[in-house]
Structure formats: structure tokens, C-alpha cells
């Protein structure tokens, strides 16, 4: 028997992954700030804010930290 293995060619795979874009704005975290509050104030999604800044645990947000603000879509 003849076995045929289908070949899949992926071009421009990097473009297929959504990337959060940096707006160029930077925000300095103040006491009492939350990721939700910062995202809401800048009209961006919480997920985009976390992704752009490489934050996996929003509880680790600390006063004095700077976070980059993504573009709003």
C-alpha cells in the first residue's frame, strides 16, 4: 500500500498570532492601583495590558512600577 502524508505549508506564521501593540505611553503605578483600574482608565483591555507588560500575576503590581500602555482597539 502507498501512504500519502499531506504537507502543510505555513507562510507568514508570525503574522497569524495577534500581537498587542505598544502605544508609546507609560504609566507609573500608584498605591491602590489595579490592572483593571489602569486598563479602564486608559480604555484598553486588561488582557492586552498584562500581555504587553509580560505580567502573569496581576497581584504582583507594585507602586512605582512602570507599565506600558497598549494601543486601544
Q: What residue has cell string 494601543?
A: 71
pLDDT attached to residue 46: 94
pTM for this entry = 0.69
Round to whole Å and give the CA distance between 42 and 70: 9
> What digits encode the pLDDT tens for the residues 11-70?
555 544 456 788 788 999 999 999 999 999 999 999 999 999 999 999 999 999 999 999
Query: 68: how many CB neighbours lie within 10 A of its CB?
Result: 15
Q: 8 pLDDT band (50/70/90 cuts)?
A: low
Nearest CA-CA partner of 46 in 37, 33, 71: 37
Amino acid at each position: 500500500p502507498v501512504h500519502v502524508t499531506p504537507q502543510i505549508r505555513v507562510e507568514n506564521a508570525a503574522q497569524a498570532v495577534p500581537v498587542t501593540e505598544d502605544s508609546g505611553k507609560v504609566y507609573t503605578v500608584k498605591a491602590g492601583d489595579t490592572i483593571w483600574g489602569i486598563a479602564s482608565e486608559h480604555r484598553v483591555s486588561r488582557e492586552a495590558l498584562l500581555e504587553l507588560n509580560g505580567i502573569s500575576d496581576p497581584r504582583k503590581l507594585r507602586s512605582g512600577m512602570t507599565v506600558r500602555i497598549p494601543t486601544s482597539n
